[in-house]
Chains A and B, each alone.
Chain A
Amino acid sequence: MRHIISLLIENESGALSRVAGLFSARGYNIESLNVAMTEDASLSRMTLVTNGSEQVVEQIVKQLNKLIDVVKLIEFAETTHIERELMMVKVKTSSSTRHEIRSLAEIFRGKILDVTATTYVIEVTGPSEKLDAFVAAIEPSTIIEVVRSGPTGISRGEKGLSV
């Protein structure tokens, strides 16, 4: 099953490699991992998506918590949360396909970020499945490049992941 884990980690050099190394050393799956600073410069926020049985994910959570640099961790499956991923897609266009692609982007509330005579760059944000659906809706031969951030998540309500 897919699990999304979000954590706060000391913003130290090597923090990312500790997390990545843990996954490779213990043979855990990692579907996506993103990391960036937070409002507190001493902390980074990492969101990772993994796949595994309940027992494996329980170990992943414990092993992550065990890393000395990890300050706090939340497994989103346990709480209601919002997930967002950003994607940019570069597609080939021709005069005959431009209109269709534009309306497709509109349906997905996408934005066209860059236009050339023969290409569009489209930005789509949303849960990962929506992004999958958008990619599936485009004629594959027209896709030049797809860039995805991997999901980030935040819990609903007043509770938050902070120190």
Chain B
Amino acid sequence: MELSGAQILVQSLKDEGVEYIFGYPGGAVLHLYDAIFQQDAVKHILVRHEQGATHAADGYARATGKPGVVLVTSGPGATNAVTGIATAYMDSIPMVIISGQVPSPVIGSDAFQEVDMVGITRPCVKHNFLVKDVTKLAETVKKAFYVATTGRPGPVVVDIPKDITDPNIKVPYKYPKKVVMRSYQPAVSGDKEQIKKAVELLLGARKPVIYSGGGVVLGEASAELIDFSKLLGFPVTNTLMGLGAYPATDKQFIGMLGMHGTYEANMAMHESDVIIAVGARFDDRVTGKLDMFCPYAKIIHIDIDPASIAKTVKVDVPIVGDVKNVLQHMISLLKDHKDYKNKPQKKALEAWWQQIAEWQAVDCLAFDRGSELIKPQYVIEQLYEVTKGNAYVTSDVGQHQMWAAQYYKFDKPRRWINSGGLGTMGFGLPAAIGVKLAFPDAEVACVTGEASIQMCIQELSTALQYKTPIKIINLNNRYMGMVRQWQEFSYESRYSHSYMDTIPEFVKLAEAYGHVGMRIDKPEQVRGALEEAFALKDRTVFLDIMTDRTENVYPMIEAGKGHHDMKLRVATGTTTDRELA
């Protein structure tokens, strides 16, 4: 079969099993768009801004586990995609981004819409390619998908000069079934000796914690994590990225850890004698001040990326490998171990759970339920109930993100879709569109704030065009709440530019985009409004919910503090704090 470069690209995507491309056309990709026009196996979703394309593809990838695919033109199209590429990179999300480039002969001449895409994206991709030869195009696409989806996943850019896609130059096409790269062979199984050591340590633990993260979601190892945790009976905490990998409603779950984690999770980490990190990367939002991190604990760390291990925190038992594979191995070792039946630490574990129960009794997520104002936490609780805990929830970045993470109890992986590592405002709406395309029958909610939503608001138009009915839960506190909170705590409430004098009327805006807008001012309206919105199955609904402007996210570990030194809210819900140390 002889095909042009443009046809090769489209055919390669088809052969790769790609369902959707999220893109935006321009000069350098016109040949490609012409090839897309002439087929209908790969569906193209026309976004309104290239950042939206990347987040939509990213949301699709996070929800399905399949790589998201993006197509942008050279120059401004490519640079607009960079934020979304970096977002995916930080959270290890598999994506393939195809960018047009000026024709090969003029590369380097400051040609019209030329930008060094390979250079610009180098620090925020897993890998990138510049295609120099049309006969290598199919193989390069295959390599891109292979690299993006294996090992520690990540975004891969394929930059394609316009002449490579020339419709008049045809070459033989064959999509490789498999690629082998001598320079890239990700680890799978962990070191046997280390795994044995880990098992011994676990069975001897008196105050253990299982600290699991995004790697369990990425590695599809939720079932193994549950088995493993049940075998041991240990408390489990999740990072922001791991939420759902262990069911939040299970009694062994002690909540998220870290800066806005629960009191019990952070205290348990602080007091623990053995922690096992499973696909988590000791992010600074999790560890707090490093020299106070888990001072009494021996640390076991399972991660597929050796560079994640001992990066910031010293590890006693490093295990490089795929989390699913390693957990399976550990489970079988555990079951056969003599101490598994004897349970020498049974008493100690009971005491540990007793201690945890005391911390849980502090009720760190309590909030004022009698308030006249709408409490954002209450909205999330209601969202959880109305959707019966089954929705896919995307979010933007800020206080609303933390409340969604704290109050929506995710029982399944891939349901909680947010930008953790880069913290990209503008992520939520396009991501929700990507999720809805992947799962048209599922409920998809985007929890957002009035500042974040404006960063990719134009994608409301995309949602209409592709009939992706999502529910936007705008926790409108008339502040960049997260910024305001830091200013309240650390800058004596000097609210420098964390407020906008002109916030649009979102109801009208939603209507202008062809959707349903609802404004909610009182707590007693919340439940009904949510029910009404979710009953409108085929409409995108924008719920503009006026929440308490002064509400803060608690608990909180402030900068430079350890896990045991959290700022808690007093039960009345006022903003006076007490320190429990």
Interface residues of chain A, those whose CB is within 8 Å of chain B, are 9-10, 13-14, 17-18, 21, 25, 55, 58-59, 62-63, 65-66, 68-71, 163
Choose one: A14, A25, A58; the contact of B130 (CB below 8 Å).
Answer: A14
Taking CB atoms and an 8 Å cut-off, the chain B residues in 120-143 that contact chain A are: 122-123, 126-127, 130
Known contacts: A68-B127, A68-B147. The answer to whether A17 contacts B307 by CB under 8 A is no
B147 touching A13 by the CB < 8 A rule?
no
Starting from the known contacts A10-B183, A65-B306, A70-B183, 9 additional A-B residue pairs (CB-CB under 8 Å) come to: A14-B119, A18-B122, A21-B122, A21-B123, A55-B310, A62-B306, A63-B307, A66-B306, A68-B147
Q: With A59-B307, A62-B306, A68-B147 as given contacts, are A25 and B123 in contact (CB-CB < 8 Å)?
A: yes
Count A-B contacts at CB 8 Å.
37
Which residues of B lie under 8 Å from residue A163 when comparing CB positions?
Answer: 182
When the two chains form their complex, are residues B181 and A68 in contact, meaning their CB atoms are under 8 A apart? yes
Least Cβ distance of B111 to chain A in Å? 18
| A19 CB to nearest B CB, Å | 11
B184 interface residue, CB < 8 Å from A?
yes
Cβ of B182 and Cβ of A58 under 8 Å apart? no
Q: CB within 8 Å of A: which residues of B? A: 118-119, 122-123, 126-127, 130, 147, 181-184, 305-307, 310-311
A21, B126: Cα distance in complex, Å:
13
Bound together, the chains give a CA A80 to CA B16 distance in angstroms of 47
Q: Given the complex, which residues of B lie within 8 Å of A70, measured CB to CB?
A: 183
A77 to B118, CA, bound (A): 33
**26 A-B pairs in the complex with CB atoms less than 8 angstroms apart:** A9-B183, A13-B130, A14-B118, A17-B122, A18-B122, A21-B122, A21-B123, A25-B123, A55-B310, A58-B310, A59-B307, A59-B311, A62-B306, A62-B307, A65-B306, A66-B305, A66-B307, A68-B126, A68-B181, A68-B183, A68-B184, A69-B127, A69-B183, A70-B183, A71-B182, A163-B182
Q: Could you tell me the distance in whole angstroms from the C-beta of A45 to the nearest C-beta in chain B?
A: 14
Q: How far apart are the CA atoms of A71 and B184 in the complex, in Å? A: 7
**Chain B positions within 8 Å of A68 at CB level:** 126-127, 147, 181, 183-184
Q: How far, in Å, is A70 (CB) from chain B's closest CB?
A: 6
Tell me, in angstroms, the Cα distance from A62 to B307 when the chains sit together: 5
Which chain A residue shows the least CB distance to B307?
A62
In Å, the complex CA distance between A71 and B180 comes to 13
A14 to B305, CA, bound (A): 23
Neighbouring B residues of A18 by C-beta, 8 Å: 122
Q: How far is the CB of B407 from chain A (nearest CB, A)?
A: 37
Closest chain B CB from A130 CB (angstroms)? 35
* Chain A neighbourhood of B119, CB < 8 A: 14, 17
Chain A residue nearest to B128 (CB atoms) is: A14
Nearest chain A CB to B141's CB is how many angstroms away?
15
Closest CB of chain B to A158's CB: distance in Å? 22
Among B130, B184, B310, max chain A CB count under 10 A is at B184
Contacts of B130 in A (CB 8 A): 13-14
- Alpha-carbon distance A134/B126, docked complex (angstroms): 44
Chain B residues near A58 (CB-CB < 8 A): 310
